[in-house]
Amino acid sequence: MVSSLDLIVPVWTQGEITNEQLAGLQSAVHSGVGLAGWHGCMADSFRFSPPYQFMVGGQWVSHPGGIIDYEVNITNHDDPITRGLSDFRMHSEQYYMHVDPSNEVLATTTFAGDQAGNYWIKGVKIPVYWKRVWGAGKIFYGSVGHQAADFDVPEAREIMRRGMLWAAR
Q: Please state the pTM of the whole predicted model.
A: 0.95
- What CATH number did the domain enclosing 10 receive? 3.40.50.880
Cβ within 8 Å of residue 29, ≥6 positions away: 8, 35, 55, 134, 135, 137, 139
Determine the pLDDT at residue 1. Answer: 64
**Which residues make Cβ contacts (< 8 Å) with residue 82, sequence separation at least 6?**
74, 76, 106, 107, 129, 159, 162
Instruction: Give the whole-number percent of the chain exceeding pLDDT 70.
Output: 99
Domain count, the chain: 1
More confident residue, 118 or 165: 165
Does residue 76 have a pLDDT over 70? yes
pLDDT per position as a tens digit, 88-114: 999 999 999 999 999 999 999 999 988
pLDDT digits (tens, 9 = 90+) for 13-62: 888 999 999 999 999 999 999 999 999 889 898 989 999 999 999 999 99
3 pLDDT more than 80: no
Select from 105, 125, 101 the least CA-distant residue to 113: 125
| DSSP per position, 126-143 | EEEEEEEEETTEEEEEES
Domain that holds residue 96: 2-167
Q: Which of 100, 94, 56, 97 minimizes the C-alpha distance to 72?
A: 94
Backbone angles phi, psi at 38, to 5 degrees: -140, 160
Nearest to 168 by CA among 145, 123, 142, 138: 138
